[in-house]
Amino acid sequence: MDSYCMALEDIPTDIKVGVPVTFKGEAGLRVDNIELYVDGFRIGEAGFGRPSPTQKYWELEYTFKGSGKRSLIMTSKVGNEVISNRFHSFNVADKEVTTPTKPSSTLKIIESKVRHTTQGAMDCEGLIVHYTAGRQSNDAGGTIAMANNPDHAPYAYWVMAADGTVYKTHELNRWGYHCGTYHHRTHLGIEIMCPGKLSKVGDEYFPWYNLDRTGNPKGPAWPKADVRYFGGDGVQTKGYYAEYTADQENALIGLVQYLKDNCKNFSINNVLGHDEILPEYKDDPGGSLSMSMRDFRTYLKTVIV
Range 215-227 burial, b when 16+ CB lie within 10 A, else e: eeeeeebbeeebb
Q: What is the average per-residue pLDDT within 147-159? A: 75
pLDDT at 293 over 60: yes
Average pLDDT over residues 39-64: 75
Which CATH number is 151's domain given? 3.40.80.10
What is the value of pTM for the model shown? Answer: 0.71
Q: What is the pLDDT of residue 99?
A: 42
Q: Could you list the residue range(s) of the whole structural domain that residue 59 is in? A: 6-92
Q: How confident is the model at residue 253 (pLDDT cuts 50, 70, 90)?
A: very high
Is 168 contained in some domain? yes
Q: What is the pLDDT of residue 73?
A: 85
User: ∠130-18-265 over CA atoms, to 5°?
Assistant: 45
- φ and ψ of 254, to 5 deg: -60, -35
Q: 44 falls in which pLDDT band (50, 70, 90)?
A: confident
- Determine the Cα–Cα distance for residues 268 and 297; give it in Å rounded to an integer: 6
41 shares its domain with 169: no
Higher pLDDT: 141 or 219? It is 219
Mean pLDDT of 46-65: 74
Total of domains in the chain: 2
- Domain identity same for 40 and 81: yes
With both helix axes pointing from N to C terminus, report the angle between 293-303 and 246-262 in degrees, rounded to the nearest 10.
60
C-alpha 217/C-alpha 256 separation (Å) is 37
